[in-house]
Amino acid sequence: MKEYDVIVIGAGPGGYTAALQTAKNGLKTAVIEKDSLGGVCLNVGCIPSKSLLKNAELARTLRKDSRTFGISCDNLDLDYSAAVERSRKVSKRLNQGVAFLLKNAGVDVFFGTAEFTGPHVVHVVLNDGAEEELTAGSVIIACGTKPVEIPGMLPDGEKILNYRQAILQTVLPKRVVIIGGGAIGVEFATVWNGYGAAVTIVEMQSHLLPNEDAEAGLELERSFKKQGIKVKTGTALSSVEKTEEGVTVHLEQDDKESTVEADQVVIVVGFRSNAPDLGLEKAGVAVTSRGWIEADEMGRTSVPHIYAIGDVAGKVLLAHTAEAMGRVAGDLIAGKDPAPLRYDLMPHATYSHPQVASFGYTEESARAAGIAYKTGKAAFIANGKALGLGENEGWVKLLFNAETGVIIGAVLVGPEVSELLPELSLAAAQGLTARDIALNVHAHPTLSEVIMEAAIEAVSEN
């Protein structure tokens, strides 16, 4: 049996960050990872998808807007497989970087499947078939999630795909139906539409990005339709029928049935916890009815020396949240006193075209919580930087507490708006008001001026 101060189960953004933090704090650390260092995000999620989105941006500009920029593309040749190859190189480089950091920090890495055999003992079946028994004073669970699968419509990698299969395939589908209008669905739609595929996106809720501000979802839908992406909201998936040509997707909306013919269907309707695979009952760790590990705002589970961070804790399923939770857990175990995380201030970013970004309260959630609020809103349509970029769709909407004027939320739709979030979430964390933001001079010309203008509108209405 190998002894450690800390065992980390899972080497995604939360897991490897936690391992580096505990090692930095002088604790002997082991990481167990059954697949690839960096987890879903680095290997088949947020990192390669951003590479593909950059390629798609170039493809879209050359296909649709080249003459606007004085470029002739009469014999344009777009190689989608080259875009995928580039995305794999980006992921590989970062994967190797994580391996270097862990090795340099003295962290032992075990590639295999972990299972608790006791509160302090983790049994590992290595990928080569060998077995190891590890014990530690503290354990950090960062094993993430897996995609939800629909009975009767299981992915086969050819005609019915999950996100992993979709992001790895090198052939561009000519016609594709995406089931699920969340962040992953709209990003895939952006990529494939950029390359000229006929894309239909289906969402059961009333608007795209159903966890975001409704107005933002409707703005994205309007833009998608202008780009030629077909959007069917308020629509349920009934079944998928495989055909010689591809698939027939059966849909239902308002008790009316319809079908869409396509080469492929991609199902991205959510995720479920990997925690049930860990034998948590042998460690005494409590889970919710949906399989998420019960953990407090510091990541502490029902067992004092076991922590749950990242997606498996079911709080905010985002890579940067997992990283932040990993640093907190790593410091707590080392006896330090880290500040608790503000989950209400966690930034959300969707890298569609246009982008959507947000944090804190939406108008819907503020009303549901009984919070009196006021808004300030400004559009990109007259923003000099946006006009220069040729991307002036969208707007910024800021929410402020009506009594104190302190910012409590924001939603942004437009070019590179994910880069504008830190100013706003920092302002909220520091209790800044609409007037504070309005008085902060923003460089000209920048996209961030729209934030200032939205704050000025909120102040002028006061």
Residues with a known catalytic role? 444
The DSSP H or E segment spanning 257 is strand 256-262
Does residue 396 contact residue 450 with C-beta atoms inside 8 Å?
Answer: yes
Task: Record the tokens describing residue 165, joined without a space.
Answer: 């299969």
Q: What is the 3-state secondary structure (H, E, C) of 179-193?
A: ECCCHHHHHHHHHHH
Q: What values do phi and psi take at 390, rounded to 5?
A: 75, 20
Any residues with CB less than 8 A from the CB of 126 and at least 6 apart, and which? 110, 111, 112, 132
The sheet that has 247-253: what strands, in order across it? 236-242, 247-253, 256-262
C-alpha to C-alpha distance for 164 and 91, rounded to whole angstroms: 13
Nearest to 356 by CA among 393, 406, 315: 393
Does residue 305 contact residue 137 with C-beta atoms inside 8 Å?
Answer: yes
- Which CB contacts under 8 angstroms, 24+ apart, belong to 452-457? 453/378, 453/396, 454/376, 454/377, 454/378, 454/396, 454/397, 454/398, 455/376, 455/398, 456/376, 456/378, 457/376, 457/377, 457/378
C-alpha to C-alpha distance for 458 and 462, rounded to whole angstroms: 7
Helix (H, G, I), strand (E, B), or coil: what is residue 172? Answer: coil
Helix (H, G, I), strand (E, B), or coil: what is residue 456? Answer: helix
C-alpha to C-alpha distance for 310 and 433, rounded to whole angstroms: 31
Does residue 237 contact residue 203 with C-beta atoms inside 8 Å?
Answer: no
Does residue 176 contact residue 228 with C-beta atoms inside 8 Å?
Answer: no
Nearest to 110 by CA among 122, 98, 94, 126: 126
